[in-house]
Structure 1
Amino acid sequence: MSGMDYGNLAYLGILATALVVWFVVQNRQSLNKTLQQAALWGLIFMGVLAGVGLWEDIRQTVQPQQMVMSDAGRIAVPRSPDGHYYLTLEINATPVRFVVDTGATSMVLTREDARRIGLNEEDVIFYSEAMTANGLVRTAPVRLEDVALGPFHDSNLRAFVNEGEMTKSLLGMEYLHLFRRLEINNGQLILER
């Protein structure tokens, strides 16, 4: 925690203490009833904090995931609540979550994802450029040894590492064209080989 966090925590502690003292002083005639109500509000507050703290875990559990139907040679991906389609590919045996971007030509990795899949600083040299919705960015062309999506494995695929700030890696049309069928229907992205 930084000094600012400690300051905020101290401020909240003083504020909470002042509220508790005020509450007890105001209701000193019926202190037993006041303590019961305070305990109830404390439990409600703790429940809200727990819900907020666990929200990402709850969302990941409830959120629909990609379905792989290997016998049919297809993958069905439900649309995410934010309107995008996300696919988790294993690159060099490391899971990487991509946002499907039919407006992107290539597979584009964030610098963090590139590091996670084992690309070293000397492997990532930013000498090419790409035009994006946010303007011109520098990119580093790389080769991915092993890319797997469910039962489908591809090797020696071209990708780029983006030097700019990106929150998610992008899965562009070069990869999607490896499938013989790509369909968006009834809130699902369907890929078939």
Structure 2
Amino acid sequence: MQGDDLGNMIYLGALGAVLVSWYVVQNHGGLSKLVRDAAAWVFIFIAVMAAIGLWGDLKHDLMPRQTVFEDQGRVELPRAEDGHYYVDLEINGRTVPFVVDTGATSVVLTQRDAARIGLDLNNLVFLTQAMTANGAVDTAPVSLDIVELGPFTDKNLPAYVNGGEMDTSLLGMTYLDRFESIQISGQKMVLER
């Protein structure tokens, strides 16, 4: 549990204690009604906490995802609520989420994603730099053995591991240039080979 989570739990606990105390003082005459009402509120509290906890999983399942049309050699990416396009690639057998970035020259992995696909972070050499909106960031050149998106498989894809903090890996033009056509129409991006 992180510091913010602990602080939120303490705050919720204190708020709950105040509400229970107020309720007990208001209903000091009927103990059985008090117990029944308290049980109902505990059940409501647990249900709300479960819904909040499950929202992250449900949100991912309810959001539109990429659609692969293997017979047509096409992948469609829906536009997310934040205006970006996201795609999941299989790299060395592991699913890695990317934000499609036509303004990025290269494929850039977060350190977390790099470790997940089997790259040894301790052996990376951060000898290059990339210019970002936040300034220069050290990067380590790598080669991705196998990259798969639906029916498309690429081998030895050049990429970089970001030496700084980054939330999501970026899918830049060194990968996107492998497609014959990239179109944005309506609320979707269509990649074709």
The reply to whether TM is greater than 0.5 is: yes
CA shift in 2, pair 1:75/1:5, >3 Å: closer
Gaps of 5+ in 2: none
CA shift in 2, pair 1:53/1:37, >3 Å: same
Query: What is the SS of the residue equivalent to 1:95?
Result: strand
CA deviations on 1:171-193 (whole Å, 9 max, x unpaired) are 00111010001011110110000
Q: Structure 2 CA distance, aligned partners of 1:29 and 1:142?
A: 72
Aligned to 2:155: 155
User: 1:38-57 counterparts in 2 under 5 A?
Assistant: 38-57=38-57
CA shift in 2, pair 1:36/1:61, >3 Å: same
Could you tell me how far 1:29 is from its partner in structure 2? Answer: 3.1
CA shift in 2, pair 1:109/1:24, >3 Å: same
Q: Structure 1 CA distance, aligned partners of 2:4 and 2:189?
A: 45
Percent sequence identity over aligned pairs? 54
Query: What is the SS of the residue equivalent to 2:40?
Result: helix
CA shift in 2, pair 1:10/1:126, >3 Å: closer
- Contact preservation (8 Å) 2:114, 2:121: no
- Contact preservation (8 Å) 1:181, 1:192: yes
Could you tell me how far 1:58 is from its partner in structure 2? Answer: 1.0
Letter in 1 for 2:145: E
Q: TM-score, normalised by structure 1?
A: 0.89
- Contact preservation (8 Å) 2:111, 2:121: no
User: 1:93-172 counterparts in 2 under 5 A?
Assistant: 93-121=93-121, 123-172=123-172
User: 1:13-92 counterparts in 2 under 5 A?
Assistant: 13=13, 15-92=15-92
CA shift in 2, pair 1:124/1:13, >3 Å: same
- Contact preservation (8 Å) 1:123, 1:142: no
Q: Structure 1 CA distance, aligned partners of 2:78 and 2:16?
A: 44
Gaps of 5+ in 1: none
CA deviations on 1:106-142 (whole Å, 9 max, x unpaired) are 0000111111111113541100111111101111111
Q: Is 1:189 equivalent to 2:193 in the alignment?
A: no
Q: Structure 2 CA distance, aligned partners of 1:138 and 1:49?
A: 41
Query: What is the SS of the residue equivalent to 2:72?
Result: coil
Could you tell me how far 1:151 is from its partner in structure 2? Answer: 0.9
How many positions carry a matched residue from both structures? 193
- Contact preservation (8 Å) 1:85, 1:189: yes
- Which piece of structure 1 moves more, 35-44 or 163-172? 35-44
Q: Structure 2 CA distance, aligned partners of 1:6 and 1:142?
A: 39
CA shift in 2, pair 1:7/1:61, >3 Å: closer
Aligned to 1:179: 179
- Contact preservation (8 Å) 2:78, 2:188: yes
